[in-house]
């Protein structure tokens, strides 16, 4: 249904969540297969584990969703994650209180992201190129700063950050859920979000509507940088160190989560709720294959096939209901 397409994209979060039933089916099928194949899969600790592992990718993917909706792409999220991790550990080791470390790291992530945005908006360079360059630049900066070896020894507060479980739920899950709500709210309830969708659908139309197109572009990459910084704090705390190679290749999982979640790479259509499902599907898949001791080489092949399969399946369902 073409009208339903508009509706499902714009309706309340819970209704959007239900409307992606094709993806839910894929997700359920994955759960069923995994629990048949491994008796360690269907356990509470393992589920908490999946949630924890998924949260870093989910954070990156939420930022990525905004960028892709705007009609762009951000390949630099993994490198921004790494460099912000290093900055955070530097701050921590310099004795900055943890709250300060968090705020400054988020600011750093936002700033680095906005540099991408400036190049895209004012330098008029394609987002793919800008963020590809940023990917290698910030990875390089990370390697220079760390001299290629991990930075460890975190303050107790930093160590606790990603490893506590308030109310029995791991802190990464709390973080990812808050980020989900915040992103959903920003995209669906604010003028900023309206601008992002309009821009992704037609840049000219957005300009004729009088939207501050260039500033919107800068802000969306800044938002993605901010999400990368949040992921950096989480991952650094979980690993108890800043790794020079942290986050490498993460951009691909983030993009995969967005695309599996039904957001159009052409921009303008989709949303962050689908991205959550996409990230969960990828998370469960990774977890199940690890439990089943699938050879790491085969894991990649299976993952690629599942991504394509999920997309085909959903397309099939939506074309039949049209």
Minimum CB separation of residue 258 from other proteins in Å reads 16
DSSP string covering 225-255, please?
HHHHHHHHHHHHHHHTEE-TTTTTTHHHHHH
> Which of 110, 127, 170, 195 touches other proteins by CB under 8 A?
195
Task: Please identify, using beta-carbon distances, which residue of 208 and 297 lies nearer to other proteins.
Answer: 208
> Which of 66, 77, 119, 206 touches other proteins by CB under 8 A?
206
- Best CA proximity match to 236, nearest among 123, 157, 316: 157
Minimum CB separation of residue 204 from other proteins in Å reads 4
The yes or no reply on residue 3 touching other proteins (CB under 8 A) is yes
Which of positions 5-64 make contact with other proteins (CB under 8 A)?
5-7, 10
- With the CA atoms of 280, 48, 185 and 24 taken in that order, what torsion angle do they form, in degrees rounded to the nearest 10? 30
> Which of 200, 247, 278, 283 touches other proteins by CB under 8 A?
200
Task: Please identify, using beta-carbon distances, which residue of 196 and 281 lies nearer to other proteins.
Answer: 196
> Which of 39, 147, 204, 293 touches other proteins by CB under 8 A?
204
- Best CA proximity match to 254, nearest among 68, 46, 31: 68
Minimum CB separation of residue 99 from other proteins in Å reads 25
Task: Please identify, using beta-carbon distances, which residue of 244 and 268 lies nearer to other proteins.
Answer: 268
Q: What is the C-alpha separation between 110 and 108, in angstroms, rounded?
A: 5
Task: Please identify, using beta-carbon distances, which residue of 7 and 315 lies nearer to other proteins.
Answer: 7
Which residue's structure tokens are 């800068």? 218
Question: Residue 96 in contact with residue 244, Cβ under 8 Å?
Answer: no
Task: Please identify, using beta-carbon distances, which residue of 2 and 166 lies nearer to other proteins.
Answer: 2
Question: Which listed range, 205-213, 253-261, 284-292, 297-305, lies at the site for other proteins (CB under 8 A)?
Answer: 205-213
Q: How many residues lie near other proteins (CB under 8 A)?
A: 33
Question: Could you count the other beta carbons within 10 Å of the beta carbon of residue 73?
Answer: 21
The yes or no reply on residue 4 touching other proteins (CB under 8 A) is yes
Minimum CB separation of residue 68 from other proteins in Å reads 13
Q: What is the C-alpha separation between 16 and 313, in angstroms, rounded?
A: 18
Q: Angle of helix 171-189 relative to helix 44-69, nearest 10 degrees?
A: 30
The yes or no reply on residue 315 touching other proteins (CB under 8 A) is no
The yes or no reply on residue 197 touching other proteins (CB under 8 A) is yes
Question: Residue 62 in contact with residue 180, Cβ under 8 Å?
Answer: yes
> Which of 191, 293, 297, 320 touches other proteins by CB under 8 A?
191
DSSP string covering 110-139, please?
HHHHHHHHHHHHTS---HHHHHHHHHHHHH
Instruction: Say whether 72 sits in a helix, a strand or coil.
Output: coil
Site string for other proteins, 259-288 (x = CB under 8 A): ---------xx-------------------
Q: Please report the sign of the dihedral spanned by the C-alpha atoms of residue 61, residue 283, residue 106, residue 188.
A: positive
The footprint of other proteins (CB under 8 A) covers: 1-7, 10, 189-192, 194-195, 197-198, 200-202, 204-213, 268-269, 321-322
């Amino acid at each position: 249904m073409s009208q339903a397409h508009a509706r499902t994209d714009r309706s309340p979060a819970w209704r959007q969540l239900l409307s992606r039933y094709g993806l839910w089916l894929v997700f359920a099928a994955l759960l069923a297969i995994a629990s048949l194949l491994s008796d360690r899969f269907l356990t509470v600790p393992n589920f908490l584990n999946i949630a924890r592992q998924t949260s870093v990718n989910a954070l990156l993917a939420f930022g990525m969703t905004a960028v892709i909706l705007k009609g762009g792409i951000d390949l630099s999220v993994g490198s921004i994650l790494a460099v912000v991790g290093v900055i955070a550990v530097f701050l921590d080791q310099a004795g900055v209180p943890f709250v300060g470390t968090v705020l400054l790291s988020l600011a750093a992530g936002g700033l680095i992201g906005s540099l991408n945005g400036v190049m895209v908006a004012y330098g008029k360079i394609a987002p793919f190129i800008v963020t590809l360059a940023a990917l290698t630049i910030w990875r390089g900066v990370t390697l220079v700063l760390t001299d290629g070896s991990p930075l460890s020894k975190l303050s107790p507060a930093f160590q606790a950050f990603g490893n506590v479980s308030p109310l029995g739920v791991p802190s990464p899950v709390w973080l990812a859920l808050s980020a989900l709500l915040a992103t959903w709210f920003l995209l669906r309830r604010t003028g900023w979000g309206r601008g992002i969708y309009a821009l992704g659908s037609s840049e000219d139309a957005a300009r004729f509507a009088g939207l501050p197109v260039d500033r919107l572009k800068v802000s969306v990459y800044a938002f993605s940088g901010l999400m990368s910084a949040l992921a950096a704090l989480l991952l650094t705390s979980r690993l108890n160190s800043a790794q020079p190679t942290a986050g490498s290749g993460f951009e691909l999982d983030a993009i995969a989560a967005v695309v599996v979640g039904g957001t159009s790479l052409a921009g303008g259509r989709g949303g962050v709720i689908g991205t959550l499902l996409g990230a969960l599907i990828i998370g469960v898949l990774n977890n199940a294959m690890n439990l089943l001791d699938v050879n790491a080489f085969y894991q990649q092949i299976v993952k690629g096939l599942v991504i394509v399969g999920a997309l085909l399946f959903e397309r099939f369902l939506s074309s039949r209901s049209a």
